[in-house]
Amino acid sequence: MNEKNAAPFSCVCGKRLAWETTESPAEKRELTCSCGRKYGLELQKAGWAPGLDPLIPEARQPLSGFSQELRHRADCERYHFSHRISGHRLPVHILFSPSAKTAEVKTGDRKPFKVAPVHSPEEARRQWIEWFDSRPGRDGRRARSSSRLQSVST
Ligand SMILES: [Zn+2]
């Protein structure tokens, strides 16, 4: 009866993660390890599994490029994760303010993508990925063993 409530899942740091079995059932859960990494878990046939790489908290992060409004929030949280962009895994940064229910997601020198209202950095990431991978002209959604080389002419 409890098989789906068990969290057979360990953080990268080695700590086993679990949640209260009294929590109401849902198809997605978020877990934060004591080391600070955040996981979005999805209920799959075999049980709970991390849908994506963990969000890794960042003490320092280049804040340039994010909006002044969000940068000056005292409760700003910073995370990063990696995402496949044009065939490469590149770091993506999240600036999230719980009080403003706002996040900005940014990679490279692109303009930040604003997500609001949003209640967690994990939610912001999902929305960003949905947006990013569905942009016209991008191969994110269909990129399988994409051997398409983006040759940058020098
Ligand atoms: Zn951990």
- Give the pLDDT confidence of 35-81 residue by residue, as tens digits: 999 988 777 777 767 777 889 998 776 678 899 999 999 999 999 99
| Span from the CA of 37 to the centroid of ligand 1 (angstroms) | 6
* Residue bearing the bigger pLDDT, 57 or 24: 57
| Span from the CA of 38 to the centroid of ligand 1 (angstroms) | 8
Question: What does the pLDDT read at residue 61?
Answer: 60
| Region class of 108: left (phi > 0), else alpha (psi between -120 and 50), else beta | left
* Residue bearing the bigger pLDDT, 20 or 14: 14
| Span from the CA of 152 to the centroid of ligand 1 (angstroms) | 38
pLDDT 10s digits, 80-91: 999 988 888 899
Question: What does the pLDDT read at residue 138?
Answer: 60
Q: Say whether pLDDT at 95 is over 90.
A: yes
Q: How confident is the model at residue 139 (pLDDT cuts 50, 70, 90)?
A: low
**Which of 121, 138, 123, 149 has its CA nearest to residue 56?**
121
Taking the domains of the chain in order of start, what are their residue ranges?
9-50, 56-133
Q: CA 152: distance to chain centroid?
A: 28
| Span from the CA of 56 to the centroid of ligand 1 (angstroms) | 10
Q: Say whether pLDDT at 13 is over 70.
A: yes
| Span from the CA of 36 to the centroid of ligand 1 (angstroms) | 6
